Amino acid sequence: MKKFMLGLGLCLVSAAAAAQKFPSQPLTLIVPYAAGGSSDALARSLAQAVGREAGVAVVVENRPGGSTVIGAQALLGKPADGHTLFMMAASFVINPYLIKSLPYDTRKDFQPVTQLASNPHVLVVSSRVPANDLKGFIDWARAQQGKASFSSFGNGSSGHLGFELFKQRAGVDMLHVPYKGSAPATMAVLAGEVDATLGDVGVVAPHIAAGKVKALAVSGSQRSAALPGVPTFAEAGLAGFASETWMGLLTRAGVEGDRVERLHQLFAQALQDAEVQKTLQQQGMEARPSAPADFARFLQQQSALYRVAVDKAGLKPE
């Protein structure tokens, strides 16, 4: 009996130790955008830092398309054990207002882990557009009478809704052309496929420096440290306009609370890593780690904000 009880005790201790060791296998970080954009750059930098701290590999899996729905579905196809995460942005809280039949419930099927980072959007235009400042661009766009176009990194993305708000504020009519990520949306401007975009600082900055696109204004209350020569929208004559990209992490609903907290700790700590900080700076981002409960409240606030934006833009679910 003593041997049995001793063996049982050892089994219980081993089971408890196994439960405490998390992650116990490689993590998968799903990015719902094409490689080469700001989200992808941050994800790969974080994967290295988290992998070193956790002692497991962190695999970045790009699953672009469907306004991030494809990536979200990929997460829900995995076990609810915390070993798979989904990097999301504003489109996640916007999709319920634009997509009639989402294959999931954004509030019930997912669990917030942490906010990651944010960066202001930059209005860039094709070199073919005969305007060198914001006023000149607005005048030119008005003269096109709906023929001018803009790209975004996905239907219902923050870049899309941000540009819709810009159209309202500026009194212009432009055609929306969605792409699968910020990198292809920017390349569309370079190639002359579209006339303009609200892009992420880190993605558009090299093309601005090379003179391939023209930067007219940056969102936010102050100029971007990465683009000190680009005026804010307020400085350029359109006060009160704001648009930004923010990113965060979700996992599946049903993942144990202690595992969610462990994931939050790992990624919040990784945001302070020197190489991650370097990536953030290159992408024009600022770290914004938050506790799971705080991130949940932030998502609710953003959902309400974008619902108003969708209504004002007259967008309807499809």
**pLDDT per position as a tens digit, 256-307:** 999 999 999 999 999 999 999 999 998 889 999 999 999 999 999 999 988 9
Residue partners of 285: CB distance under 8 A and separation at least 6:
38, 42, 117, 118, 119, 201, 202
Do residues 33 and 185 make contact, with C-beta atoms less than 8 angstroms apart? no
User: CATH 3.40.190.10 in the chain, residues?
Assistant: 119-236
Q: What is the mean pLDDT of residues 157-167?
A: 92
Rounded to two decimals, the pTM is 0.80
For residue 18, pLDDT beyond 60:
no
Lookup result for tokens 């073919």: 128
175 with 146: CB under 8 angstroms? yes
Taking alpha carbons only, the member of 173, 149, 163, 19 closest to residue 81 is 19
Model confidence band, residue 237 (pLDDT cutoffs 50, 70, 90): very high
Which residue's structure tokens are 């991030």? Answer: 68
pLDDT band at 154 (very low <50, low <70, confident <90, very high): confident
CATH topology of domain 26-118+246-313: D-Maltodextrin-Binding Protein; domain 2 (3.40.190)
119-236 topology per CATH: D-Maltodextrin-Binding Protein; domain 2 (3.40.190)
- Tokens representing 226 are 């990465």
As a whole number of Å, the CA-based R_g of the chain is 22
Indicate where the chain has its CATH 3.40.190.150 domain(s).
26-118+246-313
Burial of 9 (0-12, 13-18, 19+ CB in 10 A): exposed
